[in-house]
């Protein structure tokens, strides 16, 4: 088996260059001021909805201003649950292709109703860019494979830098320049660990725990496990996992924790409890974890570091199961609908 024959493998391994591209694009972009908007709405579909969840939490944490995430389909069909009347609002629309039907139509409706401006985050110079007053186009994030890995990570870096810029946090932007090198180091140091975990087919279910600004990332790595490996997989907030889902934990379960510094003891306690129930646990954190970043970057600027090793774990599991990680069952790279 030649791993480099798989586009997914090449894209995961090369993503740090796309991270750098994302940082450069975000640095050069002309952006509005956070004070211009009373609410920022982040939207996308599938992976980019999960990116929106992570970005909205981060935006509100960094700027102190209201931010919401909503699937583009709901923004299109049920806008009343998120759009507020008679206030200045900004829509940040995220789409790998820039042509996803629900995202484009939601952005068109947002503009037609004069709700506010649109910022696009994408990997292609397509329809979303034409709709946007400003856009972050990460060309290095483009992919051949269906499941988003390099594209998601690079668009998340761009979104993170966008939030930092809107918050006036030049200190975070400066520290984020270290991310590409750190990402390369994580892949080099932990690929064998990801391979060992992924190829163990005794496991039949995976749970990804992440709270706060990490919950959207937990949802995304859960989706990679579902898409590429056709394995039962679910995301949860850490403390919520005790309220019912832990009943599924046994010796065939893997519980993956995206640990924070601020709540480390509470989150680690959940993993310890799941281990006592017979589950296999896997932790990712700045330090004291199975995957330790050792980045010396604040946790609101290093979220992308949770992704590469977990993407590799899903890749290796897909191959071990005899599946094609580049072409997951029933999926296409772009969802376009007649709406």
Q: pLDDT at residue 335 above 80?
A: no
pLDDT at residue 331, as a whole number:
62
Residues 33 and 165 in one domain: yes
Percent above pLDDT 90 for the chain: 94
292: three-class secondary structure by DSSP: strand
Starting at the edge strand found earlier in the chain, the sheet holding 205-209 runs 232-236, 205-209, 253-258, 280-285, 291-292
> What pLDDT, in 10s, does the model give residues 257-276?
999 999 999 999 999 999 99
Residues 161 and 183 in one domain: no
Please report whether residue 71 resides in a domain. yes
Please report whether residue 326 resides in a domain. no
Please report whether residue 84 resides in a domain. yes
User: In whole angstroms, how far apart are CA 288 and each of 112, 212, 214, 262, 284?
Assistant: 51, 20, 18, 14, 9
pLDDT at residue 329, as a whole number:
77
Can you give the residue range of the structural domain that contains 199? 178-320
- Print the SS3 string covering 21-63: HHHHHHHHCCCCCHHHCCEEEEEECCHHHHHHHHHHHHHHHHH
Residues 13 and 72 in one domain: yes
Residue 26: pLDDT band by 50, 70, 90 thresholds?
very high
Higher pLDDT, 46 or 1: 46
Residues 100 and 214 in one domain: no
Residues 167 and 182 in one domain: no
Q: Round to whole Å and give the CA distance between 102 and 241.
A: 31
Residue 328: pLDDT band by 50, 70, 90 thresholds?
confident
Token couple for 38: 């009373």
The arithmetic mean of pLDDT across residues 33-46, rounded, is: 96
Residues 158 and 12 in one domain: yes
pLDDT at residue 2, as a whole number:
87
> What pLDDT, in 10s, does the model give residues 125-182?
999 999 999 999 999 999 999 999 999 999 999 999 999 999 999 999 999 999 999 9
Q: pLDDT at residue 38 above 60?
A: yes
Residues 154 and 209 in one domain: no
> What pLDDT, in 10s, does the model give residues 94-125?
999 999 999 999 999 999 999 999 999 999 99
Higher pLDDT, 4 or 164: 164
Please report whether residue 334 resides in a domain. no
Element (H or E) spanning 207, and its range? strand 205-209
Residues 7 and 142 in one domain: yes
Residues 10 and 129 in one domain: yes
**Which of the listed residues 103, 138, 172 is the one where a domain comes to its end?**
172
The arithmetic mean of pLDDT across residues 82-87, rounded, is: 93
**Which of the listed residues 115, 147, 172 is the one where a domain comes to its end?**
172
pLDDT at residue 196, as a whole number:
98
The arithmetic mean of pLDDT across residues 3-17, rounded, is: 96
The arithmetic mean of pLDDT across residues 187-196, rounded, is: 98
Number of domains in the chain: 2
Residue 225: pLDDT band by 50, 70, 90 thresholds?
very high
Looking up tokens 């969840």 gives: 53
Please report whether residue 260 resides in a domain. yes
Residues 206 and 307 in one domain: yes
Percent above pLDDT 70 for the chain: 97
Burial profile 244-263: b = 16 or more Cβ within 10 angstroms, e = fewer: eebebbeeebbbbbbbbeee
Q: Round to whole Å and give the CA distance between 167 and 269.
A: 33
Please report whether residue 156 resides in a domain. yes
pLDDT at residue 1, as a whole number:
72
Residue 332: pLDDT band by 50, 70, 90 thresholds?
low
DSSP letter assigned to residue 180: H
Residue 334: pLDDT band by 50, 70, 90 thresholds?
low
Residues 103 and 188 in one domain: no
User: In whole angstroms, how far apart are CA 327 and each of 100, 191, 195, 216, 304?
Assistant: 18, 22, 20, 24, 24
Q: What is the mean pLDDT of the chain?
A: 96
Please report whether residue 45 resides in a domain. yes
Please report whether residue 337 resides in a domain. no
* Residues written for the chain: 339
Q: Round to whole Å and give the CA distance between 118 and 122.
A: 13
CATH number, residue 56: 3.40.50.10490
**Which of the listed residues 172, 197, 226 is the one where a domain comes to its end?**
172
Q: CB of 58 within 8 A of CB of 300? A: yes
pTM to 2 decimal places: 0.96
Residues 194 and 167 in one domain: no
């Amino acid at each position: 088996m030649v791993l480099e024959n798989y586009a997914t493998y090449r894209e995961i391994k090369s993503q740090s260059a796309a991270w750098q591209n994302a940082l450069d694009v975000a640095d050069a972009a002309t952006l509005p001021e956070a004070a211009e908007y009373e609410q920022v709405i982040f939207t996308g579909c599938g992976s980019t909805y999960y990116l929106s969840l992570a970005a909205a939490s981060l935006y509100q944490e960094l700027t102190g201003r209201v931010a919401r995430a909503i699937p583009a389909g709901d923004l299109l069909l049920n806008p009343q649950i998120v759009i507020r009347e008679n206030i200045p609002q900004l829509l940040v629309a995220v789409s790998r292709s820039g042509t996803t039907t629900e995202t484009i139509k939601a952005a068109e409706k947002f503009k037609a109703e004069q709700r506010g401006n649109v910022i696009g985050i994408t990997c292609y110079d397509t329809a979303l860019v034409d709709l946007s007053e400003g856009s972050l186009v990460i060309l290095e994030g483009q992919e051949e494979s269906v499941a988003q890995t390099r594209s998601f990570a690079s668009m998340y870096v761009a979104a993170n830098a966008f939030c930092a810029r809107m918050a006036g946090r030049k200190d975070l932007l400066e520290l984020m320049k270290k991310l590409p090198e750190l990402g390369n180091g994580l892949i080099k140091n932990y690929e064998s660990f990801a391979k060992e975990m992924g190829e163990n087919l005794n496991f039949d279910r995976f749970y990804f725990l992440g709270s706060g600004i990490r919950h959207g990332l937990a949802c995304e790595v859960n989706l990679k496990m579902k898409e590429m490996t056709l394995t039962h997989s679910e995301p949860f907030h850490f403390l919520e996992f005790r309220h019912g889902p832990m009943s599924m934990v046994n010796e065939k379960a893997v519980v993956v924790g995206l640990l924070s510094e601020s709540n480390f003891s509470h989150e680690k306690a959940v993993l310890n409890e799941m281990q006592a129930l017979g589950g296999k646990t896997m932790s990712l954190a700045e330090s004291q974890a199975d995957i330790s970043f050792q980045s010396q970057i604040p946790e609101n600027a290093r979220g992308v570091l949770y992704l590469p090793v977990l993407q590799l774990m899903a890749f290796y599991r897909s191959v071990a199961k005899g599946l094609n990680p580049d072409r997951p069952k029933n999926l296409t790279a772009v969802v376009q609908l007649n709406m």
